[in-house]
Amino acid sequence: PTWQVQDKADANNVAYTTGKLCFHTDYPVLQHPPGVQFLHCIKQTAAGGESEVVDGFHVSNKLKKQNPQAYQILSSTAVDYTDVGVDYCDFAVQCKQRIIDVDSRGQVVRINYNNATRDTVFDIAAEKVRPFYAALKEFDDLLNSTEHKFTYKLKQGDIVTFDNWRVLHGRQSYQSGSEVTRHLEGAYADWDVVMSRLRLLRKRVLNRD
């Protein structure tokens, strides 16, 4: 299944407006967010609408070096994500995620960050709230540093694909018009599906050789 990114009336998602999209990963509100994202540029606006990406793993490791306490907070605090609305169907989903998700060895395995769906509910001890937001601001400042982010503009026909567990993406704002001026078509794939296809392809190539 594919989905359309374009501005529309009564948008239930900031992606469906002409406004700026801050850095985020898609669907941290799901226990198992999509692993791979594809975006196909159908139509591009003349001014604005530039895409931005940043390597979340690199920024996380940078944070760990310059502020270990902030890193520890973001890699251990469970954050509530909630999304309720209508888009193709009625939906109401909720999940708890650590913004910097690490494995048993302490290695970063996934970034779960989307302020648009981060809930107003935050059930942690009151004395931990200020340190959390200080850590989150430092992480966000690193994400938006010109040293770390890459800005580019998709042209009509371009397709970009990226790791949704690692790469945060965003968009600069653009002017609205009497008709849709910017249109991207998107799709997701899970990493297990991608890897199984790659193994099958490799097997076919080896057998052919």
Q: How far apart are CA 17 and CA 13, in angstroms?
A: 7
Rounded to two decimals, the pTM is 0.88
Maximum separation of any 2 CA atoms in the chain, in Å: 63
Q: Is the pLDDT of residue 88 over 80?
A: no
* Contact by Cβ (8 Å): 174, 47: yes
Per-residue burial over 4-29, b if 16 or more Cβ lie within 10 Å, else e, is: ebbbeeeeeeebbebeebbbbbbbbb
Distance between CA atoms of residues 101 and 77, nearest Å: 10
93/120 Cα distance (integer angstroms): 14
Q: Which two tokens stand for residue 114?
A: 């989307």
- Write the CB contacts of 141 (distance below 8 Å, at least 6 apart in sequence): none
Helix (H) or strand (E) holding 64: helix 56-66
Cβ(94)–Cβ(80) under 8 Å? yes
Which residue segment(s) compose the domain that 201 sits in?
A: 3-207
Query: Per-residue pLDDT tens for 28-38?
Result: 999 999 999 99
Contact by Cβ (8 Å): 184, 21: no
Q: What digits encode the pLDDT tens for the residues 106-139? A: 999 999 999 999 999 899 999 999 999 999 999 9
Q: How confident is the model at residue 85 (pLDDT cuts 50, 70, 90)?
A: confident
* Cα–Cα nearest to 29, from 18, 40, 13: 13
What CATH number is attached to the domain comprising 49?
A: 3.60.130.10
| Number of domains, the chain | 1
